Structure 1
Amino acid sequence: MNRLFFGDNLDVLRERIHPESVDLIYLDPPFNSNASYNVLFREDDGALPEAQAEAFRDTWHWGEHAAAAYDDVMRSSGDVALALKGMKAWIGQNAMMAYLAMMAARLLELRDVLKPTGSLYLHCDPKASHYLKILLDAVFGHENFRNEVIWKRTGSHNSARRYGPVHDVLLFYGKSEQAIWNPQMQAYDENYKKKFGKIDERTGEAFQDVALTGPGTRTGPSGQVWRGFDPTAQGRHWQPASYLYTKYEKITGKRLSDFDFLDRLDELDRTGLLYFPRNGGFVRYKQFLSDAPGVPLRDVWTDIDAINSQAQERLGYPTQKPVTLLERIIATSSNHGDVVLDPFCGCGTTIEAAERLGRQWIGIDVTHYAVTLIESRIKANHPDTKYEIHGRPVDLASARDLARRDKHQFQWWAAWRVGAQTYREEKKGADRGIDGNILYKNGPFGDGRIIISVKGGENVGVQMVRDLRGVIEREDAEMGILICLAEPTQPMLREAADAGFVAKSAHGRMPRLQITTVEEMLNGHSPKLPPLPVPGKKLTPTRRRKDSDQLELLLPFAGEKIVPSKGVVVDPRFVSLSG
Structure 2
Amino acid sequence: MTAAARNRPANHLYYGDNLEVLRREIGDASVDLIYLDPPFNSNANYNILFRSPTGDSADAQIEAFEDTWHWNDAAEDAFDQVARSGNTRAFDLLNAMRAFLGENDMMAYLAMMAVRMIELHRVLKPTGSLYLHCDPTAGHYLKLLLDGVFGARAFRREIVWRSGWVSGFKTRTANWIRNHDTIFYYVRDPAGTWTFNKQYVAHEADYVRRGGGENPLGKAIDDVWDDPALYSPNIKSFSSEKLGYPTQKPVALLERIVSASSNAGDVVLDPFCGCGTAVHAAQKLGRQWIGIDVTHLAISLIEKRMQAAFPDAAFTVEGTPRDLASAEDLARRDKYQFQWWVVSMIDAMPHGGKRKGADGGIDGIVYFKPDGKRTERALVSVKGGDNVGVQMIRDLHSTMEREKAPVGIFVTKALPTAAMEKEAAAVGRFHAEASGRSYPRLQIITLAELMRGKRPDIPYVDPTAAFRRAAREETGQQGSLL
TM range (shorter): 0.7 to 0.9
Aligned position for 2:108? 98
| 1:421 aligns with one of 348, 353, 356 | 348
Aligned counterparts of 2:394 and 2:119: Cα–Cα separation in 1: 48
Aligned counterparts of 2:290 and 2:36: Cα–Cα separation in 1: 12
Aligned counterparts of 2:108 and 2:255: Cα–Cα separation in 1: 31
Aligned position for 2:231? 305
Considering only aligned residues, what root-mean-square deviation do their CA atoms show, in Å? Answer: 2.7
- Evaluate the alpha carbon distance shift between residue 73 and residue 462 of structure 1 in structure 2; reply closer, same or farther with a 3 A threshold: farther
The aligned amino acid for 1:518 is: L
Aligned counterparts of 1:425 and 1:88: Cα–Cα separation in 2: 37
Assess if the C-alpha contact under 8 Å between 1:445 and 1:504 holds in 2.
no
Q: Within the alignment, does 1:179 sit opposite 2:108 as a pair?
A: no
- Evaluate the alpha carbon distance shift between residue 185 and residue 426 of structure 1 in structure 2; reply closer, same or farther with a 3 A threshold: same
The aligned amino acid for 1:424 is: H
The aligned amino acid for 1:168 is: D
Assess if the C-alpha contact under 8 Å between 1:14 and 1:109 holds in 2.
yes
| 1:139 aligns with one of 132, 144, 149 | 149
Q: Within the alignment, does 1:482 sit opposite 2:410 as a pair?
A: yes
Aligned position for 1:458? 386
| 1:364 aligns with one of 292, 297, 310 | 292
| 1:164 aligns with one of 177, 192, 197 | 177
> How many residue pairs were aligned?
435
Assess if the C-alpha contact under 8 Å between 1:348 and 1:363 holds in 2.
yes
Higher relative contact order (CA 8 A, sep 6+): 2
The aligned amino acid for 2:382 is: V
Q: Which runs of 5+ in 2 are unaligned?
A: 1-9, 45-61, 474-482
Alignment of 1:57-96 (within 5 A): 57-77=66-86, 78-96=88-106
Aligned counterparts of 1:33 and 1:189: Cα–Cα separation in 2: 39
Equivalent position SS for 2:127: strand
Assess if the C-alpha contact under 8 Å between 1:312 and 1:578 holds in 2.
no
Alignment of 1:341-420 (within 5 A): 341-417=269-345, 419-420=346-347
Assess if the C-alpha contact under 8 Å between 2:369 and 2:460 holds in 1.
yes
Aligned position for 1:522? 451
Aligned counterparts of 1:151 and 1:366: Cα–Cα separation in 2: 26
Residue-by-residue CA offset, 1:311-358 (whole Å, 9 max, x unaligned): 222222221111111111111111111010111111211112111211
- CA drift of 1:492 comes to 2.8
Aligned position for 1:49? none
Aligned position for 2:257? 329
| 1:571 aligns with one of 467, 472, 478 | 467
- Evaluate the alpha carbon distance shift between residue 288 and residue 526 of structure 1 in structure 2; reply closer, same or farther with a 3 A threshold: closer
Equivalent position SS for 1:103: helix
- Evaluate the alpha carbon distance shift between residue 478 and residue 318 of structure 1 in structure 2; reply closer, same or farther with a 3 A threshold: same
Equivalent position SS for 2:317: strand
Assess if the C-alpha contact under 8 Å between 2:15 and 2:319 holds in 1.
yes
Residue-by-residue CA offset, 1:288-316 (whole Å, 9 max, x unaligned): 44x45334332222223332111222222
- CA drift of 1:54 comes to 5.0
Q: Mean Cα displacement is larger for which, 312-321 or 507-516?
A: 507-516
- CA drift of 1:362 comes to 0.9
Aligned counterparts of 1:6 and 1:149: Cα–Cα separation in 2: 30
- Evaluate the alpha carbon distance shift between residue 33 and residue 10 of structure 1 in structure 2; reply closer, same or farther with a 3 A threshold: same
Aligned counterparts of 1:124 and 1:133: Cα–Cα separation in 2: 10
Assess if the C-alpha contact under 8 Å between 1:121 and 1:171 holds in 2.
yes
Aligned position for 2:217? 293
The aligned amino acid for 1:17 is: I
The aligned amino acid for 1:171 is: F
- CA drift of 1:426 comes to 3.2
Aligned counterparts of 2:76 and 2:387: Cα–Cα separation in 1: 32
Aligned counterparts of 2:374 and 2:171: Cα–Cα separation in 1: 46
- CA drift of 1:457 comes to 1.9
Assess if the C-alpha contact under 8 Å between 2:269 and 2:289 holds in 1.
yes
Assess if the C-alpha contact under 8 Å between 1:315 and 1:577 holds in 2.
no
Equivalent position SS for 2:394: helix
The aligned amino acid for 1:23 is: D
- Evaluate the alpha carbon distance shift between residue 64 and residue 428 of structure 1 in structure 2; reply closer, same or farther with a 3 A threshold: farther
Aligned counterparts of 1:457 and 1:64: Cα–Cα separation in 2: 28
Identity of aligned pairs, percent? 50
Assess if the C-alpha contact under 8 Å between 1:369 and 1:412 holds in 2.
yes
Residue-by-residue CA offset, 1:447-467 (whole Å, 9 max, x unaligned): 443211011222323322221
Equivalent position SS for 1:158: helix
Aligned counterparts of 1:309 and 1:318: Cα–Cα separation in 2: 13
Aligned position for 1:16? 25
- CA drift of 1:512 comes to 2.3
Assess if the C-alpha contact under 8 Å between 1:4 and 1:371 holds in 2.
yes
